[in-house]
Amino acid sequence: MEIALPPVGHGVVEHSKALIDPVTRFRNTSAYIFLVAFGDDEERRRVVRFVNRAHAPVRADGYNAFDPKLQLWIAAVMFHGGRDVYERFFGRLDRAEAERLYREFAVYGTSLQVPEEMWPADLDAFDAYWHSVVDDLEIDGTVRSYARALLSGGDLPIVVRPAMALNRFFTLGMLDPRIREAYGFTWTEAHQRWFDRLMRIAAPAYRALPAAARHLPRKLVLRDARKRFAAVPAHAAAARM
């Protein structure tokens, strides 16, 4: 979770509406992820302008949403998590595949304010960067409390809370153990055994799905994002989304 880095965490706590309107937050974040990766040039320009406008007021002593170092960390979290999820469901990538995936993830930082030369050159450089940051993480009580509230679903309807409990369990299971410990989350050997059992069921079940079913979330997110952007003039997109 990117809010483990204190400046990012405090920026989110003080400016994000993820707890009071988690659905809109999810839609906007998903729009950026999928349009940057799969959109055309104009769609990428629009979603980047939207993110930049949303980031403009996110600044205070200690953080600035336009800080390339903070954006680098967020993109790094996306790659670390994305690779981990893929390998848990489809098996370990070989070195060439992992390097290719790593290069593709750079766009999540370089589309914003991260200079291309700031993105670690290869996986070895990335691993060195990752460990240098994670080893020194110190998460304060404010961010810890926010993370717990976020994993509980914020203001989502009560009817979906059981699903959030399962999401929380899988999220904690996939966290880098050092980050999980820094948050103060309890994770016992029994938790790990249950997580491993569930993954042994979930991974083959997901692989057995038809490709159309596996790709449906991406299709729905792109359809939603394109519909919203099409309804709003380019210069006004950030104010309305």
pLDDT tens track for 6-33: 999 999 999 998 888 888 999 999 999 9
Question: Which residues are 59's β-sheet partners?
Answer: 64
Residue 241 and residue 228: Cα distance in Å, rounded?
8
Summarize pLDDT for 167-209 with one digit per residue, the tens: 999 999 999 999 999 999 999 999 999 999 999 999 999 999 9
Q: How confident is the model at residue 219 (pLDDT cuts 50, 70, 90)?
A: very high
The pLDDT assigned to 226 comes to 93
Q: Is the pLDDT of residue 130 over 50?
A: yes
0.85 surpassed by pTM: yes
Q: Which two tokens stand for residue 15?
A: 């400016």
Q: How far apart are CA 3 and CA 38, in angstroms?
A: 26
What is the full DSSP assignment across 138-201? ---HHHHHHHHHHHTTTT--GGGHHHHHHHHHHHHHHS-HHHHHHHT----HHHHHHHHHHHHH
Residue 39 per-residue DSSP state: S
Res 13: pLDDT? 95
* All residues at 6 or more sequence positions from 161 whose CB lies less than 8 Å from its CB, including other chains: 152, 153
In the chain, the amino acid numbered 69 is: K
Q: What is the pLDDT of residue 236?
A: 54
Between helix 161-174 and helix 141-151 the angle, nearest 10°, is 130
Position 241 scores a pLDDT of 44
